[in-house]
Structure 1
Amino acid sequence: MRSWSAPRIPGLPGRGPVPVLFDTATGEARETTGGQLYVCGITPYDATHLGHAATYLAFDTLGRVWRDAGVDVVYAQNTTDVDDPLLERAEATGVDWRELAESQTDLFRSDMEHLRVVPPDHFTAVTEVVEPIADAVAALVEKGLAYRVETPDSDAGDDLYFDVEGASSSTSWHLGIESRLDADTMLRFFTERGGDPARIGKRSELDPLLWRSARKGEPSWPSAVGEGRPGWHIECTVIALRHLGRPVSVNGGGSDLVFPHHEMSAGHGTALTGETFASHYAHAGMVAYQGEKMSKSLGNLVKVSELVAEEVDPRAIRLALLQHHYRSDWEWFDDDVFGAIARLSHWSRWAAGATDGDAETPLLAELRQALRDDLDTPRAVEAVERSVASGAVPTTVDLDAVDALLGIDLRA
């Protein structure tokens, strides 16, 4: 699947440091190793909201800091273009599910271009890799780590589930290895986030679906494990294993993916390969609006596309998001964008007086140090603000640094 146009990233003098990133699995900040990045993508049934945007900006920042450190970056991202929420929205609106997925994916691409997010090297729709996913499920069946659950409402066979206890006893993976959650919290999150703990015939309440056998009126594909479609977690496992080395350097996404999604994806990956799935697990915080977490189900969305349609400079949207640390939970207020517009205007006037330069500057050094420290973009933004407020004349290296590391082109 095609990605989107890449922004130009200026070269900078010297090399920045390799970033230290908080790792969910260990609960501490550790230096990252390698540049293999997998970030979970959207389910394309509605436009990109600021919660999505904040997550993708976090990992865009990681990629920019890696590149500045001389790290070779390979970035993969999925799009879950067949899933229950998408099918439900398509039915409710009377739109073919393929058309809905295509239109919303196009809008996502546009939003990412406006925000100057560097595109993934591998942007993969689930519908493009159904056969490899089914083959992976078949491999888990062969290993004795997947099993069938009787499915009377399907004429195509039974659903297939991952055997969590079997994987825990026969591989290096186990529940809690990434999330560090207790059993009660796991069960609550599993129930809230698409799991089916009460499904009759499962060996364990927390066993996740690998393959949903075909039902009448639902999209399905012939495969090595029968007619049907993939479960949620296995799709990311397979896409990551197809495009990235093992282990993946950083597996990223929103904090609502810690469990069960990332934990189960890791379990599938270790069960398939015998190797650790990821070296680092990084998660962005949740963005609230009107007192609740911004989410499609609640409908309390502030959408990137709508702000752009209202002629808000996308650079101001990016700046407003970067003023919050990626791991923090925070709330968006409608007047936040006006503060970012004013700050951007101030910075742009400062940039207009830049003189030529080719050497590292104090501002570049400050930005590199701030972003090395767990992608501390608020600290980086304040470093630029101090430079602007000081009245010192910037050099072109200063402008390139703001562009390359924060993704804000002050020459535009």
Structure 2
Amino acid sequence: MNIPLIDLQAQYNSLAEKLDKAALGVLSSANYIMGKTVIDFEKDFANFIGVKHAISVGNGTDALVISLKAMGIGEGDEVITTPFTFFATAETISAVGATPVFVDVDKETFNIDVTKIEEKITSKTKAIMPVHIFGQSADMDEINEIAKKHNLYVIEDACQAVGGKYKGRKIGTLGDVACFSFFPTKNLGCAGDGGIIVTDNDEIATIIRALRTHGSGENGQKAYNLLNNIEEEVKTAEGANDTVYNPLKYYNYLIGYNSRLDAIQAAILSVKLKEIDSWNSKRREIVELYNKALQNSDLVTPIAKDCNEHVYHMYILQSENREEVLAKLKEAGIATGVYYPVPLHLQKVYKNLGYKEGDMPVSEYLSHRTFAIPVYPELTKEQVDYIIQNLK
């Protein structure tokens, strides 16, 4: 039996007719950039999360960059985050000219250790960027309390956690802004790149909308006026078509980006959004089977805190003999993944920050022990049983 780590073909097959219809609908409409399909998805996603604004962008990395930029974070600033995450979390901080300041993680949840945040705050600190790693919320009450005390922004990197909850509240409603990725392997994935930023802050939302399209047009003018305390009538272009011709796009007010969610991707995501709660529930059912079967084994199973509703973007096990376990699973046709083999503070690109081995002991410990096994909702009972049998 061969079981992939994530089976995108199986997911497509389960929704093929609806996905094809949605994609072909956009193709036949010839409205490929922004437009009704994108606007409708943004509204649906905002309602799903429970926020006022959802602004779609080209990918999750752009979501983080644009959020940081919209908050005025840049050269000389510092942003506190975790080293046990995908590179984009820290990369985006560097991309706007700021410096990532790493705080080690909790050994049980893999999320940023809130007891170690405050000691890293300086006069240059402008924000805290917790990552809801693998689909479980960070300790947001404590993070928000620290942020409020020191007048800092909170940016949720929720790229792995769509649909998750913290103390009954949806991930994405717990900071000033939150960023999601729709990379195909995510719990809610499109057929390419995609991302979205959510917020309840009207001013930040206006600036984000301007930044995603070259700082131009109606949103560019609104953002410019807002940032410069100008009150004037904002130009509008009724019936403009962003795919063919919008006269206002040639009036620029901010230095922005070209980062938009394609209409085809929005159509695909609209179909999948209706399934995400049931998909996440299925992931949790599979996790229960894994946890029960492995409770007396040498493998360390992941811990979900009682206050969290984990969505298990990845199911992460720990082993003192990781390479041996991975080799045995590969031999059995079961795909695995190692997340993350090198913590960010030890990546060569950040050598200039002066971190050394031993500075983040928990992250380093986990980097040598953790690995992922399949947990996607399309797994059959036969496949789950086979995985368990081989693990045991």
Using the size of structure 1 for normalisation, the TM-score is 0.24
Using the size of structure 2 for normalisation, the TM-score is 0.25
